[in-house]
Amino acid sequence: MLDVISDSQYFNDHYLAKCQVDTPIDIVEQAWKIAFQHRQQFLSVVDFGAGDGKFAHGGQYSNYVGYEIDSRRTKHTSLPSNAEIIHKCAFSDVKGNFDLCIGNPPYVRHHELNDEWQNKIANQLSHELGIRLDRRSNAFIYFLCQAILKTNDTALIVQVIPYEWVSRPSCSFLRKYVEDKKWTVKVYRFEQDVFAHSKVLTTASITVIDKTGKNGIWEFYTIDNQFNAVRVQSATGSNEKVLSYKSRSPFNYAQRGLSPGGQKIFCLTEEIRLAFKLKIGIDVVPCLTNIRPVPDKIALLNTTSFQKYLVNAGEKCWLITPTVTPSEELKTYLDSVSAEDRDTYTCRNQSPWWCYRAHPVPDLLYGSGFTKHGPKIFINEIGAVAVGAVHGIHKVKGISKIQLRKALRTFEFESRIVSHSGVLKKIEVNQMNSVIGTILNDT
């Protein structure tokens, strides 16, 4: 088990601030309402990541215990007489055998987690579950695993968590685990942004795992702003199944955008490039960090469109080159970057800190996120590097770039992608590889 005494070394104010998203009281009430649809009463209840203890209210139980590492969250909290909050890590020595695990666990992206803490918890959970956890999982997945482990064989799990877990590759190990157990799963996707007051950009759900169910059925629902639930056919919210995943081939493959170590310092505007007198092709190369400024009607990202929609518009469109022997001009710029700005995981693990592993230039550029129809796609005549949420399609062969772009632009993405945040949808790299494979087979 994780050494409770050393918990504090893993959590700083930055991490705790990321965790602390208050759950609206009506969402708490809705979670309890759904719980009572499955059970009339509960003896022992646990809440991992209890926050200010909202879930201690509104339920009927003999005993409630919440785990909340940040004692400041409960400074002014009033609890029922049969409830308590323990100020320890949720993964410390927890007795288990609870009838219900209810709550809203922290949503922290995996790259913002402390590396040592993440490894300890992932190893601990992997050992206890008997499966290998995906280290790309965000924090709430670890909490969901803990909920499974610390509830009894006839328990109910009711969690307010991101809807993405029903489709993301990083969560596939947990979906398979639940499927193999043949537990009954119901997932209620909120149509409205229930955490609009926070900076959490994800579609929320109430996920129910009923361990008494042995049929392995998964049901999906949408909940409107009046909390009316309507059953839908699949996780996409439509009658279409979620796009399948396919590993990349040697040719015609998608690849995610480069993560050099922080767009703030590696990707520059034209104004900054000129200020430091950085030379194009030597100190910097063209890049695309944001797909939105380029109109959907543009098919070709060439010198003219790059200049008009990116350079002249003040977008970050120049990527510094990863040379070990920078020019005097580039060295001047690199020296101007503060130690705080380059204190990222990537920069700390490359030497020199700016010398990232270069990505190949893709034949086509596309945005991994979209709101309608499908992603924007451009033929990459300018030779821009795809960065961040802008992804690329490489080594196009057996089909022209024009044909491939046209086929992708007419493909029905919208009904087969799970909503990421509100109307925003994101296509995973291996989903794009699956689409490309389908197009090539039909050509």
Range of the domain at 109: 4-232
If one counts every other C-beta atom within 10 angstroms of the C-beta of residue 198, the result is: 12
128 with 42, same domain: the answer is yes
Residue 11 lies in a domain: yes
**In angstroms, rounded to a whole number, what is the distance separating the alpha carbons of residues 422 and 437?**
29
φ, ψ for residue 97 (rounded to 5)? 65, 35
The b/e string for 396-411 (b: 16+ C-beta within 10 A; e otherwise) is: beebebeebbebbbeb
Claim to verify: residue 204 and residue 287 sit in the same structural domain: no
259 and 158 assigned to the same domain: no
Please check whether residue 241 lies inside any domain of the structure.
no
Do both 298 and 168 map to the same domain? no
Would 156 be classed as within a structural domain? yes
223 and 278 both lie in a single domain = no
Res 10: pLDDT = 47
In the chain, which stretches have pLDDT less than 50? 1-18
As for how many domains the chain has, the answer is: 2
Are 414 and 379 contained in the same domain? yes
CA angle 14, 17, 21 (to 5 degrees): 155
Residues 204 and 327 in one domain: no
Sign, CA dihedral 394-397-400-406, equals negative
| Per-residue model confidence (pLDDT) at position 108 | 77
Residue 410 shares a structural domain with residue 374? yes
- Which among 163, 197, 232 is the end of a domain? 232
- Quote the tokens at residue 271: 């104004």
312 part of a folded domain: yes
pLDDT at 1: 36
Q: What is the pTM of this model?
A: 0.73
* 390 contacts 288 by C-beta, under 8 angstroms: yes
pLDDT value for 277? 98
Q: What is the pLDDT of residues 232-258, one digit of tens each?
A: 888 887 778 888 889 999 999 999 999
The answer to whether residue 61 sits within a structural domain is yes
CB environment 170-179: b (16+ within 10 A), e (fewer): bbebbeebbe
Token pair 């989903």 in the structure block, residue: 431
Nearest CA-CA partner of 317 in 385, 232, 259, 254:
385
Residues 202, 86 share a domain: yes
Residues 56 and 97 in one domain: yes
**Domain check: are 211 and 289 in the same one?**
no
Of the three residues 232, 262, 282, the one that is the final residue of a domain is 232
Whether 243 maps to a domain, the answer reads no
SS (HEC) of the chain: CCCHHHHHHHCCHHHHHHHCCCCCHHHHHHHHHHHHHHCCCEEEEEEECCCCCHHHCCCCEEEEEEECCCHHHHCCCCCCCCEEEECCCCCCCCCCCEEEEEECCCCCCHHHCCHHHHHHHHHHHHHHHCCCCCCCCCHHHHHHHHHHHCEEEEEEEEEEEEHHHHCCHHHHHHHHHHHHHCCEEEEEEECCCCCCCCCCCCCEEEEEEECCCCCCCEEEEEECCCCCEEEECCCCCCCCCCCCCCCCCCCCEEECCECCCCHHHHEECHHHHHHCCCCECCCEEEEECCCCCCCCCCCECCHHHHHHHHHCCCCCCEEECCCCCCCHHHHHHHHHCCCCCCCCHHHHCCCCCCCCCCCCCCCEEEECEECCCCCCEEECCCCCEEECCEEEEECCCCCCHHHHHHHHHCCCCHHHCCEEECCEEECCHHHHHHHHHHHHHHC
CATH of the domain at 47: 3.40.50.150
Q: At which of 232, 264, 279 does a domain end?
A: 232
Q: Are 76 and 194 within one domain? A: yes
Is residue 242 a part of any domain in this protein? no
- Residue 240 inside a domain? The answer is no
pLDDT for position 422? 64
Q: Are strands 184-190 and 218-223 parallel, antiparallel or unpaired?
A: parallel
pLDDT at 20: 57
